[in-house]
Amino acid sequence: MTDIRRNVPVLEQLAVLKRGVVDLVTEEDLKTKLERGTPLRVKLGADPTRPDLHLGHAVILRKMRQFQDLGHKVIMLIGDFTAMIGDPSGKSKTRPPLTLEETRANAVSYLEQCKLVLRSDPEVLEVRFNGEWLEPMGYADIIRLASKYTVARILERDDFTKRLAAGTPVQMHELLYPLTQGYDSVALEADVELGGTDQLFNNLVGRALQRDYGQAAQVVMTLPLLVGLDGVEKMSKSLDNYIGLTDEAHEMFAKLMKVPDTLLLNYFTLLTDLSEARIEELLAGHPVTAHRELARAVTAWLHPEADLDAAEERYKAVAKGGIPENIPSVTVPTEELNADGVVGLFRLVALAGLEPSNGAARKLIQNRGLKVNGEAATDPQTAVTIPAEGLVLQKGKDKFVRLLPAT
């Protein structure tokens, strides 16, 4: 871990912090706050609707880490209370709310994964839950908060405007979401709030509310939403176009090699510290070289102890249709075999951990998603005898398990 840098000149800080930023409201305000010479309070709010993070989340986490490395304190705000409302940002319909217990359970995994990127020392990291101040608020408090903003200003938000024009209902509780998120900035006395470009409206509400409550308005910084491996939609686990923060090093390397050429500049800028000159040089050269450097840089960042050469060799072997050398092994218990010493192929898939159940294993095979020793399998009921040297099951392009007979 690099040391925290103290007393870095303001212009140098600005150059680091502005990299990759889409909206900066305003640069002059940020410069003024940095010139105070005291650590800024930098807020990122997140509703933990899902426990798993991917590189799309890492874009903003990297920006938080840059603030930390410059000596500022970042506040990881878990929206345990606002998640019960459901953020309408970018949604074409009302999002199902979660319970307080669900959001807090998700938050445990969420925070652990955030710390793969963020410094965890209390000097530069503060973790808060907005249920601390939102849950105790009474009806009179909500009325006072609602009086700070007009309906017309709330309806300026594109999500609401489009839904109303399409005749899609907008629920009253959704109109309160920007106000509750904005009030978080008041409660935390944030100097800066980070978010994706889809959060610009909400973050600007926080800036306005701080003025109403007699505070200095926060600086709003937004970063682009990372497009996923399909090259079309933003990175999302539900779309299966993501690279997970907890993916194994070899898996992360292989996925990064598949980033569409048109997105290389975006990925280099948002996920690496390579200079603009070096990025331009790579993009002007052969795409494979650029992909290789991207894959090595990002994998090394999230897996500092990983053997990058081994990850690369594994990728090359799989790309050529081969089977990597270092793959996990599972011994098949004798009680899984019938009297003839055979077992159904679908059962082997489940035993190997490639699918969670026999039913899911059958579907995988029927959908031609499995290979046995490099050959496509089509019949889940195939009777298999496991040879002494074992056999290799392959799910998709890069999940391998070697099955061995019990001795």
Q: For the segment 231-263, what is each residue's pLDDT rounded down to a tens digit? A: 989 898 878 899 999 899 999 999 999 999 999
Q: How far apart are CA 328 and CA 16, in angstroms?
A: 41
Residue with the bigger pLDDT between 27 and 100: it is 27
Q: How far apart are CA 249 and CA 241, in angstroms?
A: 17
Q: How far apart are CA 298 and CA 249, in angstroms?
A: 10
- Please determine, for residue 89, whether its predicted confidence score (pLDDT) is greater than 60: no
- Is residue 84 within 8 Å of 100, Cβ to Cβ? yes
| 287-302 and 276-284 helices, crossing angle to 10° | 140
Q: In angstroms, what CA-CA distances link 312 with 36, 204, 287, 292?
A: 47, 44, 16, 8
**CA triple 105-111-113, angle to 5 deg:** 115
**Tokens representing residue 203 in the block:** 């973050």
Write down the CATH number for the domain with range 10-223.
3.40.50.620
Q: How far apart are CA 57 and CA 72, in angstroms?
A: 20
Per residue in 157-181, pLDDT tens?
Answer: 777 888 888 888 888 888 888 899 9
- Please determine, for residue 85, whether its predicted confidence score (pLDDT) is greater than 80: no
Q: Which fold has domain 247-319?
A: Tyrosyl-Transfer RNA Synthetase (1.10.240)
Burial 179-209 (b: 16+ CB within 10 A, else e): bbbbbbbbebebbbbbbbebbbbbbbbbbbb
pLDDT band for position 91 (cuts 50, 70, 90): very low
Write down the CATH number for the domain with range 329-405.
3.10.290.10
Max Cα distance, the chain (Å): 80
> What is the DSSP-derived secondary structure letter of residue 94?
P
Per-residue pLDDT, 50: 66
Q: Left (φ > 0), alpha (ψ -120 to 50) or beta: where does 37 sit? A: left
> What is the DSSP-derived secondary structure letter of residue 226?
P
Per-residue pLDDT, 92: 41
Q: How far apart are CA 15 and CA 311, in angstroms?
A: 33
Sign of CA dihedral 279, 283, 288, 291: positive
Per-residue pLDDT, 97: 63
Once rounded to an integer, what is the mean pLDDT over residues 41-70? 89
237 is in an annotated binding site: yes
| Single-letter code of the amino acid located at 205 | V
With 0.85 as the threshold, say if the pTM is over it: no
- Please determine, for residue 84, whether its predicted confidence score (pLDDT) is greater than 80: no
Q: How far apart are CA 82 and CA 84, in angstroms?
A: 5
Per-residue pLDDT, 96: 58
Q: In angstroms, what CA-CA distances link 29 with 14, 26, 309?
A: 11, 5, 45
H/E run at residue 76:
strand 73-78
Domain ranges of the chain: 10-223, 247-319, 329-405
CA atoms within 13 A on the CB side of 246: 11
Once rounded to an integer, what is the mean pLDDT over residues 57-67? 94
